[in-house]
Structure 1
């Protein structure tokens, strides 16, 4: 073994090939350094929140929104344009995650945004982007959301986008499509968008910027906007789409008025103050633009707050700026507390204890109770008790966040949070889906046929149960060890066993990817009392060990979402994935194995002088295959958590 706990030996770790700026440390020193760094980032109110970066679609859409509304901040636009230029690939395209292949829709939006910001068509970066777009089929081949934007800017005809009549809000619950049958993010985006599409709203576009040069065939002559629809069900729905368009003029006007009023009431009731509709960028922008179309005046307080909510997502620096898709304070705070609790489980450092107590009290005040929530459609008799992902999102508490926060409160071992934990556990138990698993926001949100409708070309219309969320639910319920939760745990364990892949890994829906999923489940199994010699655990351990890289670390790229044969592999190790793998192996009682020692060595060798680690890669999907994220906190609190857990495992083996 290369590493020894410094409290036992005082030994330093070898730091061959140490990166510039790194500081040689031993295990205890590394933990202390990381802990100090993390404590220094806590907000005085008690929470942590780190940047949440997405691909260039979101900042490009911010510029497009300014031109849609003719509300152009030229200084901010210039900073966002600087950011966009800096993110282009060598071939001129824009990827969905760093190091990934270019994405057509993202590149189209970035190109259009830069052209609106004043970049000339003859600029070298614009030429490269344009050539790449044309080489990949041109703007007519963009995804549905991009084509809807192009229709609003009058770059393509409305027949080039799916038929999204506002009357969908009136459909009965028994109908094959109903707004409650899709995920929370889908319904918050779709309802205001249905108003914009129904009335074929036109962007103001004050400078009349067009992108006709991005089409291989003139946009109004293009006949193949839906060539991506291949399945029999998808083609049948396209026929219904055409019939709907033909019948639309015969629709009684009072029905349209009724539908518009109901859709308006629906999203206005969920505007969510300064946190915005659904607390996600796309829904917030759609709501803001719909409010404008509906004639809500500029000085209306709700409209002003809706715009302020969008601007709160901006990350503005000296020369660049970008827009986040949402913010993650509940998630970041819960995970930071877990890392600090692990680091202080023996020392009881007063500063750290004060920090975690402050964080938990802040979180306690954010717990949702019996406010209206869309989840009540599935569980009308269930009392509230969840937490959202963002600062505020009262209609949409998140099962995953709730499990993490309640688990952190449970580990605090103080009566102060007993009621918070009880309410959270009861809510989680009540949100279990029929198959034993858990979705992120809804129960039984698994009407998979809806992913075949033309609007759903991103394949992410639903919120079905996933292994990673389910595992954290049994992590909490198993830790509580109360008999009333045993049937829930057993059903969830059966679901997780069925979800294990043949190679021993688990898919990671909300983190990249199989390493994240396998870490989630092994921690959940351990909390639920599954022994380390269990067959499923041993298969997972074998898989994890097989994915360790020569430098002792682990790494995984998002390519695995596109090609499932590439699992747990990347072109380099990352602190994030190494931390997950180390914790997963420790949960399986592999404390003394050389793979764990080498993984800890990797973390210590790559720790920087400020106590942190810096992974450049995107580390989570928003929607697998279509939208990816970089949680800027993951390379800060996960490695600390892993090092501290290893240190504690050495002391008590």
Structure 2
């Protein structure tokens, strides 16, 4: 072994030890790992609005929210959807609204800069529907410009071509309570009462409160919306009261004991708004639990108060456990045992919304959050199975029974296209994304390459099985989803680097011979987009512009994904891209900090492609550890 190789081995060992020590130091006593899940300032802005609507703003440290919002404003005057995006109009309007609700005057320098940024980009009239909706709640936009959603959709039978279960789980849990809000069209008086007339580029007196038209067949939806509005004005909405009662019942039934709805801020906010429109009292235990659940999503520091869009303890715990095992920790290490037992206790044994379209499956999955009985997901469940398979627990029989139950559930969730979606079965009515209400283009949950790859990786890594026909359909799906360049789209991580890494990890385990060409093409694409510094990076803008596939400043998490994918490809075909892998490892070694951590400013998680992004603060820690551990296992023998 050359001196350089020995030095590299020693450096990898030291980096692994430092990373492991850091991760062990932040484990919670109950056994789980959990850190911040960051999005953008609209989460905080909308929570400020909600507390103003309920009159609960004086009981929360919202003065610290002002400090947070000011710190997040960029030099151009706006606020970002994701780090480095140059500012986003809708995000900036909501941040400006929140600051004004918090008493910041228009004359404040931050407000002047924000106003200039907003007006240069077209003002309120150019914002997304959900921004306009929040403004309408306080009289700063007219309900005439908000789509109508008739409450009778709650009553449509399963045999009908459309029901609420054709919407994605996140759209469904957010939309059902809005049936109540959109029906009532409230205008709440806040303290202080505000206007936002200064944010209309065309002048407040010249605003056309109407839905945008596209001059194509989709304008039929706008015409239909006009008909809904006419029926509302004439009080001719059929089954209106029955639909509203069904929506209220649905919302109440889906509140967790902890007060959460859907495990996400939009569903929680909208449910509380729906209850407010139904004249629930702030002291009602349902409302009180809901507000307390919101509080648990908040992060308060000495001088700031900010809101997470969701919390991710199950996801964080399973991925950290995998990284510790991959990096050489013994399977029965006490920290892994605590983590494994905590995960077992979180398995969901209740039927959720998934059972509406999946009549065969039996419960046995995991959700993303601490509590979310109605919305377990395939991606989390597959990762938890892999984490549990990698550790040795005192009650192995219980562990194996839990795994078997999960694999059986996942098998029943395979979609018609051959792949797997996140939360639902055959949730692919793409026309829903054309509705005026759906300008975030996130109304459905179709099967995707990254979730499908996770399922196949779970099967291959744990010697688990589904029937051959199902496996063949999944492999065909992944083959057909490969892009001409050789990469795969990443729905839940940014972006093609994430998708390609996941698919290579899967194919190398379950189909290295039959899909060797697909593996080679994927690996070659990863090598082609390696940065000069040895790392990999990809901008969130690649969702809007596919020409940016694999392009962006290097990050620790995306570099780790690329290394993981390349190592997997080499294990599958026997052809390792050793030079590219070594350069990637050296990037991770060079950027690791003295406490064993990595830092990255960029967002590498995806909520809604093109519209909502996430920064998982643990991605930059456990994925590099996984990459280093797998590298050590292969090349340091």
Corresponding residue for residue 367 of structure 2 = 388
Quote the Cα distance in structure 1 between the aligned partners of 2:152 and 2:463.
48
Quote the Cα distance in structure 1 between the aligned partners of 2:84 and 2:203.
33
Quote the Cα distance in structure 2 between the aligned partners of 1:349 and 1:420.
18
Corresponding residue for residue 579 of structure 1 = 560
Describe the shift of the 1:408–1:375 C-alpha distance in structure 2 as closer, same or farther (beyond 3 A). Answer: same
How do 1:420-431 residues align onto structure 2 when only pairs under 5 Å count?
A: 420-431=402-413
Shift, 1:524, TM fit? 1.0
Corresponding residue for residue 550 of structure 1 = 532
Corresponding residue for residue 125 of structure 2 = 140
1:283 and 2:267 are equivalent in the alignment: yes
Corresponding residue for residue 591 of structure 2 = 606
Corresponding residue for residue 311 of structure 2 = 327
Quote the Cα distance in structure 2 between the aligned partners of 1:154 and 1:45.
46
CA distances 1:306-329 after superposition (whole Å, capped 9, x unpaired): 110011110111111210001001
1:355 and 2:340 are equivalent in the alignment: no
- Deviates most, 119-128 or 505-514: 119-128
Count of residue pairs the alignment pairs up: 630
Corresponding residue for residue 448 of structure 1 = 430
CA distances 1:565-585 after superposition (whole Å, capped 9, x unpaired): 101111x21111111111110
Describe the shift of the 1:196–1:219 C-alpha distance in structure 2 as closer, same or farther (beyond 3 A). Answer: farther
> Which of 175, 187, 194 does residue 209 from structure 1 map onto?
194
Quote the Cα distance in structure 2 between the aligned partners of 1:500 and 1:454.
31
In the alignment, is the contact (CA less than 8 A) between 1:273 and 1:309 conserved in 2?
Answer: no
How do 1:14-413 residues align onto structure 2 when only pairs under 5 Å count?
A: 26-73=11-58, 76-219=61-204, 221-223=206-208, 225-227=210-212, 229-230=213-214, 232-251=216-235, 255-274=239-258, 276-344=260-328, 348=330, 353-369=333-349, 371-412=350-391
Corresponding residue for residue 19 of structure 1 = none
Shift, 1:405, TM fit? 0.2
In the alignment, is the contact (CA less than 8 A) between 1:489 and 1:528 conserved in 2?
Answer: no
In the alignment, is the contact (CA less than 8 A) between 2:198 and 2:204 conserved in 1?
Answer: no
Quote the Cα distance in structure 1 between the aligned partners of 2:2 and 2:568.
20
In the alignment, is the contact (CA less than 8 A) between 1:165 and 1:195 conserved in 2?
Answer: no
SS of residue matched to 1:89: coil
In the alignment, is the contact (CA less than 8 A) between 1:156 and 1:219 conserved in 2?
Answer: no
In the alignment, is the contact (CA less than 8 A) between 2:144 and 2:209 conserved in 1?
Answer: no
**TM-score, normalised to structure 1's length?**
0.93
CA distances 1:344-393 after superposition (whole Å, capped 9, x unpaired): 26xx286xx11111111111111112x23111111122111110011111
Describe the shift of the 1:4–1:437 C-alpha distance in structure 2 as closer, same or farther (beyond 3 A). Answer: farther
How do 1:452-471 residues align onto structure 2 when only pairs under 5 Å count?
A: 452-471=434-453
CA distances 1:121-167 after superposition (whole Å, capped 9, x unpaired): 12222111111211211112211111111111111221110012322
- Deviates most, 336-345 or 26-35: 336-345
Shift, 1:76, TM fit? 1.8
Describe the shift of the 1:127–1:483 C-alpha distance in structure 2 as closer, same or farther (beyond 3 A). Answer: closer
In the alignment, is the contact (CA less than 8 A) between 2:259 and 2:286 conserved in 1?
Answer: no
Shift, 1:253, TM fit? 8.0
Return 5+ residue gaps in structure 2 as ranges. none
Quote the Cα distance in structure 1 between the aligned partners of 2:231 and 2:60.
47
Quote the Cα distance in structure 1 between the aligned partners of 2:121 and 2:210.
14
Quote the Cα distance in structure 2 between the aligned partners of 1:208 and 1:392.
36
Which stretches of structure 1, 4 residues or longer, exceed 6 Å deviation after superposition?
A: 1-5
Quote the Cα distance in structure 2 between the aligned partners of 1:197 and 1:421.
43
Quote the Cα distance in structure 1 between the aligned partners of 2:130 and 2:117.
20
Describe the shift of the 1:297–1:3 C-alpha distance in structure 2 as closer, same or farther (beyond 3 A). Answer: farther
Quote the Cα distance in structure 2 between the aligned partners of 1:303 and 1:626.
30
In the alignment, is the contact (CA less than 8 A) between 1:510 and 1:620 conserved in 2?
Answer: yes
Structural RMSD (CA):
2.0
In the alignment, is the contact (CA less than 8 A) between 1:367 and 1:387 conserved in 2?
Answer: yes
Quote the Cα distance in structure 1 between the aligned partners of 2:494 and 2:134.
29
In the alignment, is the contact (CA less than 8 A) between 1:140 and 1:219 conserved in 2?
Answer: no
Quote the Cα distance in structure 2 between the aligned partners of 1:308 and 1:81.
21
Shift, 1:617, TM fit? 0.8
Quote the Cα distance in structure 2 between the aligned partners of 1:613 and 1:253.
56
- Deviates most, 497-506 or 268-277: 268-277
SS of residue matched to 2:631: helix
SS of residue matched to 1:630: strand
In the alignment, is the contact (CA less than 8 A) between 1:79 and 1:321 conserved in 2?
Answer: yes
In the alignment, is the contact (CA less than 8 A) between 1:168 and 1:179 conserved in 2?
Answer: yes
SS of residue matched to 2:390: helix
Describe the shift of the 1:140–1:174 C-alpha distance in structure 2 as closer, same or farther (beyond 3 A). Answer: farther
In the alignment, is the contact (CA less than 8 A) between 1:272 and 1:279 conserved in 2?
Answer: no
Shift, 1:2, TM fit? 9.1
> Which of 501, 517, 526 does residue 535 from structure 1 map onto?
517
SS of residue matched to 2:84: coil
Return 5+ residue gaps in structure 1 as ranges. 14-24
CA distances 1:378-422 after superposition (whole Å, capped 9, x unpaired): 112211111001111101101000000011112225444110110
In the alignment, is the contact (CA less than 8 A) between 1:554 and 1:581 conserved in 2?
Answer: yes
SS of residue matched to 1:555: coil
Corresponding residue for residue 18 of structure 1 = none
SS of residue matched to 2:497: helix
Shift, 1:4, TM fit? 6.7
Quote the Cα distance in structure 1 between the aligned partners of 2:623 and 2:117.
38
In the alignment, is the contact (CA less than 8 A) between 1:270 and 1:277 conserved in 2?
Answer: yes
Quote the Cα distance in structure 2 between the aligned partners of 1:275 and 1:645.
41
